Structure 1
Amino acid sequence: MNQLLHYLYNCNKKKIWIIYTGFITISLILLFNFMGSSKHMTPIKQNIILVLFILLFCITVFSIGLIAVSSFRRMLKNSMIRYTAVPAKKNLYANLLFFTLMFILLSLIGLGFVHFFSMNIYEKNTNGEIQRAMHHLYNYGIFHHFFSIFLWIIDLTSLLVSIYFIIAVIKLFNVNSLLSKVLFIFFFLLFGGIQIFTTTLLEKIDRSVFYTKNVGFIDNNGFFEISFYISESSSISYVCFNLLLIYLLIFITSYIIDKKLEV
């Protein structure tokens, strides 16, 4: 596993350094502008800076995802060194672990910037929904932030494994580039629709089955009360479903690679 992680880093280190250096540099510029001009800057301009920071974080996460998908595609094309003694499942685990660590590091850096942004407006008159939301984040404990990162990791890992699975399935058809893109969009929308339907079904079950007093970070419906995780219907059953889905997709995808594609 260490050799695979080390190899993934060597293959992508230039892109990784560009991504993290760019994110930290631009975030520092936004933070210094926000802090240095907070007394005379209009609330609209402050909100614009916060929106730019959020967009920057999302773009950086998307860039990490693109690198992960690119690494997987190179593995299927056999242009990335493949250790013949290592099964595809281990390669997939190494790939997911590597890019999960990248996301965790990015999240911790982003969380530090969020802390400094929120400190600057804490106990001040906040104007606009974005500043009030940032002010609200400051009141959450560090455990809520870490648990939010954990839930985001599960969602992003589930999305990444789903993409791996779809790419491997399309590879079985051996079609041209244009048709493979059409099939990818079709399968991605189909797979996304199935997941949304299952999540909605779990949400209805949780609302009707679970009824507890508000304890810690779980509300009366059994849903998690967390900081910057956008889903309001995340529950224990939702997490278990995603973890099971990740395991099943890794198993099926590795089987396709080893037995059908014979990469």
Structure 2
Amino acid sequence: MASPLMLDSVWRDKQKFEEAEAYYQQVLAGTASKGAAGAKDKKSGKSGGSSIKNEIAEARQQIQKVLNSHKGNYIQIIGGSVGASGDNSQVMKRVASLEKENRDLKEVVEDMKALVQKLENRVTKLEGGSSAPSAQAPAPSKPAPAEDDDDDDDDIDLFGSDEDDGEADRLRKERLAAYEAKKAKKPALIAKSSLLLDVKPWDDETDMKKLEEEVRKITADGLLWGASKLVPVGYGIKKLQINCVIEDDKISTDFLEEEITGIEDYVQSMDIAAFNKI
């Protein structure tokens, strides 16, 4: 917003009034030259003294206008300060209400402190009352059984006697004998395995029926032959695939391989196709 001084005409004639003021000061000091006065008279068309007076009067009028405009601004500022004072009154009211709330809160806190103190005193009294009977109560009668235990320990002979040693040996032997008898009656677990064997002939002219008969002639304790079939290999050659069950402790796979490959007239080789524990 533009200031009144910026819109006032005194600022448009600033140079003019500055020259008049300077000349007036020279006149008062007695240093003003007639040439300057004459130049002034030619420009204004009036006498030097009258033109100076008129210019000073005009300057004073302009200054008065400026002062009056400033006075209006001061009034506006004062009005604003009055409005601010109204806002200050509201702030003061708010501060007063906050102070009242603070005092109320302090009173509540004091009441709470007093209540807590009363509760602490009451708890202290209760604890003191409960501790007194416990102090007067008779001591528990637990050491008596402990003494009995000591007596029992004294009755036990830690080193033992000859009679006790003999009795202990007899009991140990009886228990061992009973365990052995029970173990003997219990059937032992026999580990067995199921094998699927591939027996290959020399060529397609080998008699496979005769080959199977020779294989089944192999007998041993713990060996049991099962089902068999002929499986084509290629070029008209068939292999004998036969199943057997063996007891692991009695028959080994090496034994079977040696016995079957020992049939040299019919058997070229033997492989284990499948091996499963039973």
Fold-level match, TM-score > 0.5? no
What interval of TM-score do these two structures reach, taking the shorter chain for normalisation? under 0.3
Q: Report the structure, 1 or 2, having the larger strand content.
A: 2
Q: TM-score, normalised by structure 2?
A: 0.21
Kindly name which structure, 1 or 2, has the bigger radius of gyration based on alpha carbons: 2
Q: TM-score, normalised by structure 1?
A: 0.22
